[in-house]
Chain A
Amino acid sequence: MADTTLEGPTGSQTLLKLVPKAEGKQSMKDFKSDQEVRWCPGCGDYAVLAAVQGFMPELGLAKENIVFVSGIGCSSRFPYYMNTYGMHSIHGRAPAIATGLASSRRDLSVWVVTGDGDALSIGGNHLIHALRRNVNLKILLFNNRIYGLTKGQYSPTSEVGKITKSTPMGSLDAPFNPVSLAIGAEASFVARTVDSDRKHLTEVLRQAADHPGTALVEIYQNCNIFNDGAFEVLKDKQQAEEAVIRLEHGAPIRFGADNSKGVVRDPATGDLKVVAVTEENQSQILVHDAHAASPTTAFALSRLADPDTLHHTPIGVFRSVDRPVYDTLMADQLDAAIEQRGKGDLAALLAGGDTWTVVG
């Protein structure tokens, strides 16, 4: 069924209403823990932390009902700096741990903080399964295209030929595109943003927080020690104009100086391509539909970027669709079982149907 409407997800009941609200007004300060932040000076993680801490009061949730779960890596120190509940777990396993927490406690807002190595290498399996299940998790994937905490080996998102300590003659393996991967894994919400663009980052967080189900947010994050300037082309004002494609639901996909470029569908292949906008082709410029039932166009958008140069990198919400949420379904089954069979009676269960009696 092709969903051609450009309305927001209909009938979606935001699961946020299950999470208790804060009593008073919150400020960014309420979300800062007493721990000293220990990332390298200049690390992109600081900007993301500030954006998250700044955004949380807007959500207005009781902070005791917010949990940050992380794996291992630089970004995974994140929970220590949030004055919420938190768990800094083991390498790659945060989505699994968060799944247990979210599916047993629907009154919590559960966030996963992970990196490109944590989520896509050692923890790849858990990530794709969380996405396909659509557990109510908000996954912030800090992608700096390098291993930072182990001091500079190439990562599963590094460009081919990357010279690092473990690949002195250049890396050999093709990188993952996290957005493509997530869409392929049946993700119901996939977005990309950049650490230095606080406004865009916050807007994406806002939409992710509101999404019922798993929201994957890829955040391009600069590692100024081991991969400095990896996303410079997206940040430098002049270059960014040509490199960044800002996706907005319901708007024609145009970018470049004076919006002179646009994305159209190639009628021959069905694929997407970038063209110079002319009077003739203006009406053919693709209008972004993040809520399209089919993931095909979102996937095609994710393939526009050149993995080496990052030219034509779309940012924003690629896909945001309503899909049954695992935790809700699980809770519904428990309710249905009680409705059908009544609340469990332990004595009856233990006795079973086939007993005999021994009298003294």
Chain B
Amino acid sequence: MTSQVSSPAEQADEAVVGEQRKAAAGEKDVRRLDRVIIRFAGDSGDGMQLTGDRFTSETASFGNDLSTLPNFPAEIRAPAGTLPGVSSFQLHFADHDILTPGDAPNVLVAMNPAALKANIGDVPRGAEVIVNTDEFTKRAMQKVGYETSPLEDGSLDGFQVHPVPLTTLTVEALKEFDLSRKDAGRSKNMFALGLLSWMYHRPTEGTEKFLKTKFAKKPEIAAANIAAFRAGWNFGETTEDFAVSYEVAPAAKAFPTGTYRNISGNLALSYGLIAAARQADLPLYLGSYPITPASDILHELSKHKNFGVRTFQAEDEIAGIGAALGAAFGGSLAVTTTSGPGVALKSETIGLAVSLELPLLIVDIQRGGPSTGLPTKTEQADLLQAMYGRNGEAPVPVVAPRTPADCFDATIEAARIAVTYRTPVFLLSDGYLANGSEPWRVPDTDELPDLRTQFATGPNHTLEDGTDVFWPYLRDPQTLARPWAIPGTPGLEHRIGGIEKQDGTGNISYDPANHDFMVRTRQAKVDGIEVPDLEVDDASGDARLLVLGWGSTYGPITAAVRRLRAAGQSVAQAHLRHLNPFPRNLGEVLKRYDKVVIPEMNLGQLATLIRARYLVDAVSYNQVNGMPFKAEQLATALKEAIDG
């Protein structure tokens, strides 16, 4: 799922194409596939996210295109063996350019009955299901409502079931180690990883190196995990239950030349912040309060103090943005990171930043709402909060990344707007982008945009009596930005605040006409921000329907559009990065099409803005179940819209 890729093969993202290579006598068959979707599922404590991450790293280093979907409960350790405690990690990898973590897994690894029960509904008949039979005790099955064992009662007849006593095999493999049965059993996720790594011919060096580093202080544990990992691999190779292994060739053709790595949205966003600060030649200051799913950005930036990055874990959300705003006044590239509930708390300070006209990035990793909502699930329902969630007329630019890797570029773009226009800017990512990952072409740092800005250095206005003075609200005629005069600059001492200011001087003003002027000027400044025109992908040129999206729906929408086109349908696609201001050509683009469909993971927030702004009868297609759209579902909905 690489936005910078122009895929030569815009192939439909559905059928798994395969060919089989007959093995020599005594060897197992190897089947070649173009893509695979694997889901690891287990208890919250089973290490499924780690297993998924490792498989992803192996897959990335092998050169496949990939897209991931971690899915975990908000509770750190929900009661063991229960449905709410199930944690899963889905990975889609391919020999070509792909866009989503996939609709339905080809392989499900179920570490216990709860994991099987919670996930089997998503698995199509014929798919492979690997179950850890050790956990299928009567009690464990009853806990999740299995009256009879699904491994024996025929309910899994349509699947290729591989019953594997993962725990027993792991304990057996580790009997040389001085570990209790319970501790040895903990490595069963590494056994499963080893087995899957064999099944899909993944390189293993990375995982072994990773385990050595992770457990550097406990070499015994490192060795045990590596032994379990190797035992899993060997088990696949020797047991007759696994007759076939699979190859998915590197996606060399899908990628332009370059150096690649795998990256998650929150990591790309963190790097974007560090890069933006360097390109702006400003120190980076993060004021933040821990909140899911944004905390990883705080963690990541805290590691990079050698870049001059200051991270401040505040006493609350308000102090997080307050400290950031204070740092912005002092000349830092200031950022606050949060999720929807945190934005609600920060609203008043965002309003102050609008009034002070200082650069400030507000990063909102959206999650399910309202209130605490679904902390670990994704949603796009903060768009209107970002647009309007403040008292008074308080316009704030809004930028949204479309894929995990795109979080890097979108962050730099948000920083550009903040610094150029001296304004707070919203960056709207979401839980799906934050935790999902994909290959990223590592940019050449020389190619990054120049974000340098000028602090005010001297007087900017001459009074009638000839005195040279500094007016903090005298604007740049082009951008309408006011000067950024930081403390420590002699002669520019000035006071700013949240009370309405007189145009130019910045002095307190209660004058009605001045307020009217200032409200309109702040709006005009944001309206006038230069943003690139919206690009429309209308391959055939005869599409009557436009599908318009924003944010993380890019992957599923694009995959759905490919399916429709592969089926001979004409459909145009456009995806918004700038939600405020909209691209100048958006109105004209919308009017070119008979029908505009807007899929969103909310109840139609962009659609509301589009309808209000352009008087276009846009059709909203919505899903708010905490999960990204599935490509198939979107393709069906779009097909109905085309036909309807």
Contact = CB atoms under 8 A, between A and B. Distances in A.
Contacts of A103: 310, 312, 323, 327
Given A125-B319, A351-B261, A96 B326 contact: yes
B304 interface: yes
Contact of A69 (B326, B327, B331, B442): B326
Contacts of A336: 305
A351 B442 contact: yes
A344 B304 contact: yes
A360 B329 contact: no
Contact of B326 (A35, A97, A355): A97
B63 A356 contact: yes
A11 interface: no
Interface stretch (A40-48, A82-90, A219-227, A292-300): A82-90
B305 A334 contact: yes
Contacts of B532: none
Contacts of A170: none
Interface stretch (A104-112, A262-270, A271-279): A104-112
A168 interface: no
B495 A79 contact: yes
Interface stretch (A57-65, A202-210, A233-241, A251-259): A57-65
B407 interface: no
A193 B632 CA distance: 72
A104 B305 CA distance: 13
A6 to B, nearest CB: 35
A74 interface: no
B274 interface: yes
Given A35-B507, A129-B315, A349-B271, A85 B494 contact: yes
B432 interface: no
Contacts of B258: 357-358
A330 B310 contact: yes
A354 B309 CA distance: 24
A231 to B, nearest CB: 29
B488 A350 contact: no
Contact of B352 (A65, A89, A340, A359): A89
Interface residues of B, number: 71
B73 interface: no
Given A88-B496, A129-B319, A338 B324 contact: no
A100 B260 contact: no
B610 to A, nearest CB: 33
Contacts of B487: 64-67, 85, 101, 105, 108
A350 B316 CA distance: 31
A84 to B, nearest CB: 5
A333 B319 contact: no
Interface in B262-290: 262, 271, 274-275, 278, 283, 285, 287
A346 B304 CA distance: 10
Contacts of A89: 322, 325, 352, 497-498
Nearest to B262: A354
A211 interface: no
Contacts of B198: none
A190 B543 CA distance: 72
B517 interface: no
Given A100-B334, A355-B259, A90 B306 contact: no
B629 interface: no
A341 B310 contact: no
A99 interface: yes
B330 interface: yes
A358 B206 contact: no
A355 B260 contact: yes
A96 B495 contact: no
B156 interface: no
Given A65-B488, A359-B257, A100 B312 contact: yes
Interface string A153-196: 00000000000000000000000000000000000000000000
Interface string A120-133: 00000110010000
Contacts of A340: 306
A200 B35 CA distance: 79
Contact of B315 (A85, A125, A356): A125
**B-side interface mostly:** mixed
Contacts of A28: none
B275 A346 contact: yes
A153 B312 CA distance: 35
A147 interface: no
B322 A126 contact: yes
A93 interface: yes
A125 B316 contact: yes
Contact of A62 (B326, B327, B490): B490
B312 A350 contact: no
A283 B327 CA distance: 52
Interface in B463-520: 487-499, 507-508
B622 interface: no
A41 B274 CA distance: 51
A239 B493 CA distance: 43
A81 to B, nearest CB: 9
Contacts of A105: 330-331, 487-488
Nearest to A126: B319
Given A99-B319, A105-B330, A344 B495 contact: no
Interface string B38-64: 000000000000000000010011110
A108 B60 contact: no
Interface string B337-359: 00000000000110110001000
Contacts of B444: 347
A337 B306 contact: yes
A338 B306 contact: yes
A100 B493 contact: no
B495 A350 contact: no
A336 B308 CA distance: 11
Nearest to A92: B318
Contacts of B285: 100, 104
A355 B442 contact: yes
A97 B261 contact: no
B256 interface: yes
A98 interface: yes
Interface of B: 57, 60-63, 206, 252, 255-262, 271, 274-275, 278, 283, 285, 287, 304-310, 312, 314-316, 318-319, 322-332, 334, 348-349, 351-352, 356, 442-445, 487-499, 507-508
Given A64-B493, A93-B318, A100-B287, 8 more contacts: A64-B487, A87-B497, A97-B325, A103-B327, A125-B316, A347-B445, A355-B259, A358-B256
- Top 3 closest A-B pairs, CB basis? A88-B497, A100-B326, A96-B322
23 contacts: A67-B487, A79-B495, A85-B487, A86-B495, A87-B495, A93-B322, A93-B348, A96-B318, A96-B319, A97-B329, A99-B322, A100-B327, A100-B329, A100-B332, A104-B330, A108-B330, A129-B315, A340-B306, A346-B274, A346-B275, A355-B259, A355-B442, A356-B61
